[in-house]
Amino acid sequence: MIGVMGAGAFGTALAVSFARSGDVVLYARDAEQVREMRETRTNETRLPGVTLPEALEVTDDLARLGGCAAVLLSVPTQKLRGALEGARHVLAGKPLVACCKGVERDTQASPTRIIAETVPDATPAVLTGPSFAADIARGLPTALTLACADEVAAEGLQELLRAPHLRLYRTGDVTGAELGGALKNVIAIACGAAIGAGLGESARAALMTRGYAEMARMAEALGAEAETLAGLSGFGDLALTCMSEQSRNLRYGLSLGREEAFEAGVTVEGAATARAVQDRARGLGIEMPITDAVVALVAGELRVREAMDMLLARPLKEE
């Protein structure tokens, strides 16, 4: 049996997908949300139009995750530490698969590092790559990266998490997989801001390309493999997130570019991650001008056209 912690759109979508071929427990801490999902067999607020399979159990009883072979953590990165600290007695010793993308603001920790620090005897892993909740829930073809430093555990998880229309590629490069998923959100904000401000598709293409170069620089400095950044968890996720308005980070960038208020209550991982990444890059002596511009935009210190002028005014150099 597979467990999923977090009944947002992505957690629900994963639970629906895996419940088509086996039993799944979906945990949410909001008792009222659980009651509604049980009665309607939908999660209409977070994932409208999707029926929950009979094999999917929705619960607010944390202890139900104790009987699961592995637990997927679909909790925002900035809230992951708190969620795990309150559940370590149930999750101890299990494979825990982070399905969130980002870097913890105050500690610069990745999701798997947060897992290792809060549930030390768990086996940390990460599931990442180009995917939208609606596509996964509808059973549309999706390919993802499953990263785990323990090769035997990775093979077991790859088999356990088999699902129709969901193909998992295994890697031991956890650092690369996590960095790709985190950094692409920052670049997506920049792309959205450019489009929202009317700067055009050529500007988006330039930001994606130079943004990928920033991702690669940081990944190399932290010991990640170039092949990982060129794969699903890096380039693949970057392309999807920067091109589709299903991306919350892109939509947030659009709102910045249009100087409009963003959707209330919607988590934008890239906003908090940008500042954490900037701090880490400065500590490593790495230039990340697009990330710097996003931090300034989010803080209201620059407008989009000012940020673009700043990027265009940088010294000329070879690509």
101 is catalytic: no
- Residues pairing with 56 in the sheet: 24
What is the rounded CA–CA span in Å between residue 14 and residue 206? 33
Q: What is the pLDDT of residue 308?
A: 85
Rounded to whole angstroms, how far apart are CA atoms 163 and 237? Answer: 20
Could you tell me which CATH class the domain 177-312 is placed in?
mainly alpha
What average pLDDT does the segment 102-110 reach? 94
Is the pLDDT at 314 greater than 80? The verdict is no
- Mean per-residue pLDDT for 219-247? 96
Contacts 24+ apart (CB under 8 A), 137-142: 137/12, 137/13, 137/16, 137/17, 137/47, 137/50, 138/50, 139/17, 139/20, 139/164, 139/165, 140/165, 141/165, 141/167, 142/166, 142/167
Reduced to 3 DSSP states, what percent helix, strand and coil does the chain have, rounded to the nearest 5?
Answer: 55, 15, 35
**Closest by CA position to 215, among listed 247, 176, 250:** 176
Residues 88 and 119: beta-carbon distance below 8 Å: yes
pLDDT in tens, 261-310: 998 888 899 999 999 999 999 999 999 999 999 999 999 998 998 988 88
- The pair of structure tokens assigned to 64 is 């139900």
Q: Tell me the two tokens of residue 78.
A: 């900035």
Q: Report the alpha-carbon distance of residue 275 to residue 255 in Å, rounded.
A: 19
Structure token pair of residue 15: 């639970």
Q: What is the pTM of this model?
A: 0.93
Here the tokens at position 146 are: 């499953």
Q: How large is the average pLDDT for residues 44-59?
A: 95
* Residue 259, pLDDT above cutoff 70: yes
Q: What is the mean pLDDT of residues 192-220?
A: 95
pLDDT band at 316 (very low <50, low <70, confident <90, very high): low
Q: Token pair for residue 233?
A: 């968890």
State the pLDDT at residue 180: 96
Q: How many residues does the chain have?
A: 319
> Three-class SS of residue 50?
strand
The SS3 call for residue 98 is: strand
> What class has domain 2-172?
alpha beta
Contact between 277 and 218 under an 8 Å Cβ cutoff? The reply is yes
Q: What pLDDT, on a 0 to 100 scale, did the predictor assign at position 171?
A: 97
Q: Which residues pair with 4 in a beta bridge?
A: 26, 72
Question: Percent of the chain beyond pLDDT 70?
Answer: 99
Q: Which residues are bridge partners to 73 per DSSP?
A: 5, 98
In this predicted model, what pLDDT tens digit does every residue of 108-161 receive, in sequence order?
Answer: 999 999 999 999 999 999 999 999 999 999 999 999 999 999 999 999 999 999
Tell me the average pLDDT of the chain: 95
From 79, 94, 101, 184, the catalytic residue:
184
Q: What is the DSSP letter of 52?
A: P
- What integer is the mean pLDDT of 46-67? 96
> Which SS3 state, helix, strand or coil, does residue 101 take?
coil
**Alpha-helix runs per DSSP H in 4-75:** 9-19, 31-40
Cβ proximity of 259 and 221 under 8 Å: no
* Structural domain boundaries in the chain: 2-172, 177-312
Helices and strands counted in the chain (H then E) = 15, 10
Q: Name the β-bridge partners of 169.
A: 145
Sheet containing 70-73: give its strands across: 56-59, 24-27, 2-5, 70-73, 95-98, 123-128, 142-147, 166-171
Question: Is the pLDDT at 202 greater than 70, yes or no?
Answer: yes
For 161, the token pair is 């998490």
Q: Tokens standing for 205?
A: 């293409």
Two domains, one topology: 2-172 and 177-312:
no
Q: Are strands 142-147 and 123-128 parallel, antiparallel or unpaired?
A: antiparallel
